[in-house]
Structures are given as C-alpha cells and as structure tokens.
C-alpha cells in the first residue's frame, strides 16, 4: 500500500484552522512485525500513518506531529480496530517505546505516538493537543475515543500522569488556542505511567515513610527474595546485611534502603525550589479533587532507579486511592525504573490496559 496524502496537512505556516485537522484514513504504509509476547512470538500486520500535524499553528512543526499504528491482523486473524483501546504515548527524545508499541499492537490496541516539545509546560500542552486531535477525528481515526489510555515512562510517564490528573481543566486553554489545537475534549480513560518524572512541590516532602516502606518496598523485596534459589538468596542477604529475612518475611528501615540505593537525596530533597510556573505536577490536581480526572491508574517504579523518587509513585497512588480511583501501584525490586523497553514490563502494562478497558460499562 503506497503512501497517500493527508487531508488538510499542507501548509505548516500557521494559516490552517483547527477545523481542518482531519485525519485521512487512506494515507498509510502497510507494515508487519514479529513481536515477542511473554514466551511466544506473534506476527502483526498494521497500518502506519506518520508525520501528521496535530495542531494548526505549530510552534515547533518538526515536533508537533504524531503517528498512528492500527493493527490489521495478528497471526493471520483479522483485527477489528473500530472499538479498540487507544494507547497515547509520547516520543522521549524522538524515540518511541518499541517493545510497548509492538505488544500493544499484538493485543489489538491502536497506538498513537506524539512528538512533544521539551519543557514540562509545553510538553503537557502538546500531549493535550494530540489527545484533542484524536477525539476531534472520532469515526475517522480507528479506535474508541472513550477508551484513551495515556501511557509513558520517565518524562513521558510524568506527562501521562499529568494528562490524566488535569483532564478537563482550563489552565492550559490559552496555550492550546495559541497553537491551534482542535476544539475537543482532552479527557482520558486511564493512565499507565512507569517511573513518572514530575515536579514535586514542598508539600510532597511530607510523605508517609511508613506507608512507602510497608505497602511497596517490603512486599517487593520479599517477592524478589522468594523467587531466588536458596543459595542465591543466602548470597544476596550476605551482601545486603541491612535486610532482615525471617520466615519468608523481610524487614529493613527506609533510611537503610535509601543509603544502600543512593537515592536519599532524590527521595528527601527532590525539587525543593518552587516551580516558575505551577500546575505541572499531577498532585496539584489530585489535591483539587479534579472531577474530570482519569479514574484508572497503573503506576510502577523500580528500586534501583535514582532519577525518580519512589515517593512520586507512593504519593500519587495514595492520593488517588483516597479519591476512590482504581489504582494498581507497585514497586519492582532490583529493577531500574521499570522501563517498558523491557519486554516483561511492557507485557504487564499492556495486559493491564486491555483488562481495564474491557471492564468499561
């Protein structure tokens, strides 16, 4: 299938109106990929639409574009993408999450990946504009716009969490109008964020240390030790004398853990400086009890990651659970930031997406 033209995509000089942001289902490349899912491999055929501007007055035309991948066949069986979930991701540094995208396609999920500008404020404005573009093209762009899942890791995870927490709020509207975003909703159904990088205010320093320890770290450590052969477990405990292990239960102090991982500074002193522009932290909107937020959350972090304080995931999970949201949060022992480039992490993420949206009434 050759590449066709995209309706309304000509002229990136800022003269187009947002109403011209019309998705053309005819312009695509037909591609195939072999995807490892768990212990097996699947062959996926999909349509790739690329280089699509999602705003009519781009500030950075090279970045403010998105790609759409639509599964057509999985192992020779046709896929009906009309009611499929839509996974919205961002390209971190121009790189797309290949493992995550492939497993999602093999599971029948439509994948939309948007480029975004570098700063936190511009990045969330761009992601919201991309979500608006998808919803503006309901019925033209494949997938169910009522089942959009914002997903990402690291910086992309932070943007996904912020998109879900701030959905429907008007603080970004002036910037969205300035770049010519479509006049549509930016609500998302769910958020899947791995090691989300967020700006943490001073209030976040008053986290519940005991809760982080007993709810996330000790269960993660115990699960890790239980799956080790006895000899390997004994060696691990000998090398990590700060851990107490008895009757298949683990205990240690949070201070000892932070000293061991070298994350004390990140955990205790993260982002003390006041942000120059507020409302770039999902916790701002959780505290405001935003009624339009996403209600389903998958949050992960790895104990070996030094860039993202574990308190980011712990605080966000606790705040959302306090509002009654559906939250699946965990810390993975001996894993670095639970990056979805890792096949098992990507599989768990996509399984959660398909299982969560399948429960939608």
Higher pLDDT residue, 273 or 174? Answer: 174
pLDDT at 137: 96
The encoded tokens of residue 351 equal 């399984």
pLDDT over threshold 50, residue 228 = yes
Q: Which residue has the higher pLDDT, 34 or 211?
A: 34
Tell whether the model's pLDDT for residue 194 goes beyond 80: yes
CB distance 166 to 290 below 8 Å: yes
CA distance 53 to 50: 9
Residue 275 or residue 155, greater confidence: 155
Cα 186 to Cα 25, 106, 182, 224, 238, distances in angstroms:
22, 26, 10, 39, 51
What pLDDT score was predicted for residue 72?
95
Digit-coded pLDDT (tens) for 85-106: 999 999 865 556 577 889 999 9
CA distance 280 to 328: 23
Looking at the chain, how many residues does it have?
361
SS3 31: strand
The lowest-confidence range among 15-24, 32-41, 242-251, 309-318 is 15-24
* Distance (Å) of CA 228 to CA 225, 261, 323: 5, 20, 37
- Work out the mean pLDDT of the chain and round it to a whole number: 81
Tokens of 309: 């304080």
In terms of CATH architecture, what is 18-205+278-358? Answer: 3-Layer(aba) Sandwich (3.40)
Q: What is the pLDDT of residue 1?
A: 35
| pLDDT at 283 > cutoff 90 | no
Higher confidence at residue 312 or residue 349?
349
Q: Which of 123, 130, 120 is nearest to 86 (CA)?
A: 130
Please give the pLDDT value at position 161: 94
Task: Assign 276 a pLDDT band (cuts: 50, 70, 90).
Answer: very low
* Tokens of residue 242, six digits: 């700060």
pLDDT score for 257: 81
Give the pLDDT score at 89. 93
What is the crossing angle of helices 98-106 and 343-358, to 10°? 40
CA dihedral 284, 286, 288, 292 (to 10 degrees): 120
Indicate the pLDDT class of residue 119, thresholds 50, 70 and 90.
Answer: confident
What are the DSSP E strand ranges found in the chain? Answer: 29-37, 40-53, 65-74, 77-78, 86-90, 110-114, 148-153, 190-194, 244-246, 249-251, 296-302, 326-332
Contact of 50 with 72, CB cutoff 8 Å: no
pTM of the predicted protein model? 0.76
Instruction: Please state the domain extents for the chain.
Output: 18-205+278-358
Q: Would you state the pLDDT for residue 214?
A: 80
What pLDDT sits at residue 25?
87
- Res 259: pLDDT: 79
Is pLDDT above 80 for 192?
yes
The more confident residue out of 216 and 114 is 114
Q: How many CA atoms lie within 13 A of 95 on its CB side?
A: 10
pLDDT beyond 60 at 278: no
| Residue 355 CB contacts under 8 Å (≥ 6 apart), including other chains | none
Q: What are phi and psi of 116, to 5 degrees?
A: -140, 160
pLDDT at 125: 95
Strand pairing category for 110-114 and 86-90: parallel
**Structure confidence at residue 154 as a pLDDT band (50, 70, 90):** confident
Higher pLDDT, 344 or 42: 42
**Is the C-alpha dihedral spanning 324, 328, 334, 338 positive or negative?**
negative
């Amino acid at each position: 299938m050759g590449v066709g033209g995209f309706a309304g995509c000509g002229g990136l000089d800022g003269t187009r109106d947002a109403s011209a942001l019309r998705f053309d289902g005819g312009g695509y490349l037909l591609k195939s990929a072999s995807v490892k899912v768990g212990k097996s491999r699947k062959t996926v055929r999909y349509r790739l639409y690329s280089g699509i501007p999602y705003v009519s007055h781009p500030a950075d035309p090279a970045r403010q574009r998105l790609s759409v991948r639509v599964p057509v066949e999985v192992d020779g069986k046709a896929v009906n993408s009309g009611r499929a979930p839509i996974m919205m991701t961002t390209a971190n540094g121009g790189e797309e999450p290949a493992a995550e995208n492939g497993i999602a396609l093999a599971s029948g999920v439509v994948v939309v990946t948007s480029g975004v500008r570098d700063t936190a404020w511009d990045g969330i404005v761009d992601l919201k504009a991309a979500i608006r573009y998808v919803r503006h093209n309901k019925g033209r762009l494949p997938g169910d716009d009522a089942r959009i899942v914002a997903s990402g890791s690291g910086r992309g995870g932070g943007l996904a969490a912020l998109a879900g927490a701030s959905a429907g709020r008007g603080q970004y509207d002036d910037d969205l109008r300035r770049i010519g975003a479509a006049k549509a909703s930016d609500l998302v159904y769910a958020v899947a964020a791995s090691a989300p990088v967020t700006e943490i205010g001073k209030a976040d320093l008053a986290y519940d240390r005991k809760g982080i320890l007993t709810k996330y770290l000790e269960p993660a450590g115990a699960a890790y030790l239980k799956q080790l052969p006895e000899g390997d477990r004994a060696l691990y405990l000998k090398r990590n004398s700060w851990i107490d292990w008895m009757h298949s239960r683990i205990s240690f102090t949070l201070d000892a853990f932070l000293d061991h991982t070298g994350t004390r500074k990140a955990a205790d002193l993260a982002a003390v400086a006041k942000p120059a522009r507020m409302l770039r932290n999902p916790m701002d909107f959780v505290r405001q009890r935003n009624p339009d937020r996403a209600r389903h959350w998958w949050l992960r972090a790895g104990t070996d990651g030094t860039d993202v304080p574990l308190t980011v995931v712990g605080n966000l999970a606790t705040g959302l659970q306090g509002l009654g949201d559906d939250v699946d949060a965990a810390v993975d022992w001996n894993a670095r930031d639970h990056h979805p480039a890792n096949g098992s992490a990507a599989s768990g993420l996509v399984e959660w997406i398909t299982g969560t949206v399948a429960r939608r009434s």
